[in-house]
A and B are shown apart, each in its own frame.
Chain A
Amino acid sequence: MIGRGFPKAPRSYICPSCSRSFKLQSRRHATAASPDVYDVVCVGGGPAGLSLLTALRSSKATSHLRLALIESQDLERARTWNLPPDQFSYRTSSLTPSSLSFLSQIGAWPNVDTSRVQPYRHMRVWDGLSSNSRISFDALTSEPPIASMTENQNLSRALITSLDDLPIISLFDKTSVADIHLGPPLSFPAESPTSLDLSSYPHVTLSSNHTIAARLLVGADGVNSPVRTFAGISTRGWDYDRHGVVATLKLPPGTGHSRENPQRVTAYQRFLPSGPIAFLALPGDYATLVWTTTPPQATRLKALSTEDFVAMVNAAFRLDVVDLNYMFTLDSGQVDELEWRESVHPGNKADLGGETPQHIASVQEGSIASFPLRLRHASTYTTNRVALIGDAAHTIHPLAGQGLNMGLADSRSLASAVEHAVLHGADIGNEIACLDRYNEEMWMSNNRMLGAVDKLHWLYSATSGPVVGLRGLGLRTVDALGPVKGWFMRQAGAL
């Protein structure tokens, strides 16, 4: 259960002697100067932050910690989020099997509306500049699906519902962080022999003017993380000069893979020189689109009429790059161009036995959006009493669909590090005793994933003949070597 503001019964996990002295102190000097101390204060109520709190609450060892969540949005809206079954949010993510197992383990998965989740067992990836360079991934029916398409809001709602069922946490929603600073140094001589030294504890001043102190401050507060700024952690990376265009696509009625044959549901991705375009099935006759492209082309796409936008999407999975580039120069008339090009190359028209996605019929109104793509990686995830998770720690190109999965993996790792520290009587805010475990486990593996995805982006932006030939050879080789392909699949699914 989530309680608003300060709960009446503080459930702090501080070692018994400290907590006793803290209670004594607060009784003795009940002044505005002494802040409320929490074990874990999480800034940011996105999937990463919410899953961390759920994980901490659901584990026996950490369930008694005093937790606080600070979120600038109204969480009530996320809790009551509800869309009719014929509408889907364009903000979707593909959850890997290991993310699913983490969500089940913390008890959040049963709260996800699975009628809105679409698992897929097949994947077709190919090169826009040489269409015979392709790779296919097929999970056997005995194996778990490659990934499950889930709306981010469906996941957030499930996490909030799970938290509601668990012991109370302090929630400060519709509240932003006004300031973060360290506590005052202990005056000397101490006012009392038992007074707490909070000088190393981050103190968060809220927009409501309350100040709370954190034994461990977690930054799950996104790309421009105030917690990261407070901790003085630098980030490295670059902007891709690309935008991700997302939309909810509608298929012709009754043609959705999921209805006909749930085992055949396939995800498609074609690498165009401007960036990959992905078609990811949703339940029923719906799919989600993620199209990475240059900012001018993204602007053009958003300005097109619905019919022309649909034609562009259909063209992007079928036509040559030269045709696409030409169609991007037009203000309208893409429908006509697509029709003509498909009549010239009838081979493109057939969906080649599921090798390309079916033609889309329409796009859900108001569902086209775009966002800039970048790579960022914090130089470390932890300093004394501070840990960063999710987008605050890393931002990744969406071509492998790993962003949310990496955030959930951070939560799992940090929660287990905290659990380990609690079980061993260590300070959860201490780097050596607790946080280093998290940093060591996640930083390098996230860095590897960021690097691999970044290299794929650059490799597939190249248009020169020899590069296209070599990458095609590489892709076909991996496709032909079953065990190597399996290894790649496990790498992508392991996060």
Chain B
Amino acid sequence: MSFSRFLLRRTLMVIPLLLGVVFITFMLIRVGGLDPVGQLAGPTATQDEFDMIREELGLDKPLWQQFLIYTGNVLQGDLGESWLSNRPVLDDMLERAVISLELLVWGIGLGALIGIPVGLRAAFRPNGKFDQTTRVLSLLGFSIPTYWLGLVMIFVFFYLLDWAPPAIGRISLMIFPPETVTGSYLIDGLIAADWEAAWSATTHLILPVVCLAIISAAPIIKQTRAIALEVLSSETVRYARACGLPERTVRKLVFRNSAVPIITFVGTELTGLVGTMSLIEYVFAWGGLGQYGLNAIVRGDFTAVQGYVLALALFSVVVFLIVDIIVHLIEPRSELN
């Protein structure tokens, strides 16, 4: 199958999934007993005012009509207005997306940088000391609540040692943010050769990124080990061993054969970690999309909650798509089927 045909087919497959995602998001605030009208109208509203708002929001129409209207609006990029900020939800979210993405990419990047070599090493000597230690450690990583780890890090590195800046925002309040190019203060600071801003952005990044890396490394270690173990017991590796190839060559072979499933897993991880990232943003007052979404949930801003949940699902769908494309490009066997 040619690449363009694969691309077309894979992209078309996304459409029913997207419809399902929009449906689940639509139902999200309708399954509950909560009434967004009461929230908008306030406690002193009369019955007439209630009915007026209901009509304005289209809530008097049958459910299937509401769903069609909602889907139409989503397609046009209209996610409604946030009750907290009085602005279109889409604008609110677009502003904050890059801020979150920066944290997510650094965090999972570091997590993979730790997780993949550790998982590989554990797999080369299964049940050895190293394997058993990392197995227990990664189970521990599964068990640590993200927000608690963040709080403990703030206590140790800000309060006790005074190494880290206060956990508010992405750059010191005394420093003027660099000119926006990418939206990342660190990269923008480097581009503008504003070393002070870049340094301040780095110090603000370290704690949340390390926190995210610790949480994301645990599943990566576990999965890399499982994948490498499977490759190690494959016929390819057994044949290589039987031919008497040196251990170094065999390891290279294992690494090359594990690469595709590991990339797939790290990609899926990325989408699962969005929840963890939101909590880290919340603790470190990061001001990104995650904090925006959690605030909306906690304060009951349902239009924003809907938009946020939809955005996360879309993000997952896009990441899955990209992962599939990368795998298709680097996996020679995919040409065959």
A, B: real partners: no
